[in-house]
Amino acid sequence: MILSKLVIKLQIFKKIYMEIKIEEIQNRLTLLLINSESYSYLYDYLDLEDEELLQDIKTYVDFEEEETNKSDLEETIDSGLSSLMDFYESEWSVNVYDDEGNEEEVTLSEAMSRKKIARFRTDWKLADIRQEWDVDVLNLTEEQDDYSLGDYYSDYQ
């Protein structure tokens, strides 16, 4: 009886608390974004290798080694990806063709406006990234991920 109560308490604790490696979140978020429909419309304009996008995500989505809650972590993701999209829109130059077939260089924002392309999705939930991460409290660690970016491809296709 005591053992079964302990097992139940451990199961409940596991549901509300989890330790996650920051590098794993960054890898998984990169691949989730790359494979999303919202990113597919921007793929040719951004012309980024997977590793380049990963580095940009590491720069703009500011994960810190800490204990945090699901809501705050999801806000960090949303805010960071929004800032990254702002950067791409204002600083990225792309070539587009006008109605007469002439090529011209414009900002990504202008190209998106002309082609009626929306920004990529930024409001990812932890459960979107990995179902097991749908917990209340998370401890983010700087521990190195055992897997590389490429190792996660099969999880998002």
- What is the full per-residue pLDDT of the chain (157 aa) written as tens digits? 565 554 455 454 555 779 999 999 999 999 999 999 999 999 999 999 999 999 999 999 999 999 999 999 999 999 999 999 999 999 999 999 988 999 999 999 999 999 999 999 999 999 999 999 999 999 999 999 999 999 998 888 7
Per-residue model confidence (pLDDT) at position 134: 92
Q: How many Å apart are CA 76 and CA 61, to the nearest integer?
A: 7
Q: Is residue 98 part of a domain?
A: no
Q: Is residue 19 part of a domain?
A: yes
Q: Is residue 17 part of a domain?
A: yes
Q: Is residue 93 part of a domain?
A: no
H or E element that contains 93 = strand 93-97
Q: Is residue 97 part of a domain?
A: no
β-strands 66-69, 93-97 pairing: unpaired
Q: Is residue 75 part of a domain?
A: yes
Give just the sign of the alpha carbon dihedral 129, 130, 134, 139.
negative
Classified as helix, coil or strand, 36 is: coil
Q: Which domain holds residue 152?
A: 2-84+121-156
Q: Is residue 101 part of a domain?
A: no
Q: Is residue 70 part of a domain?
A: yes
How many domains, in total, are found in the chain? Answer: 1
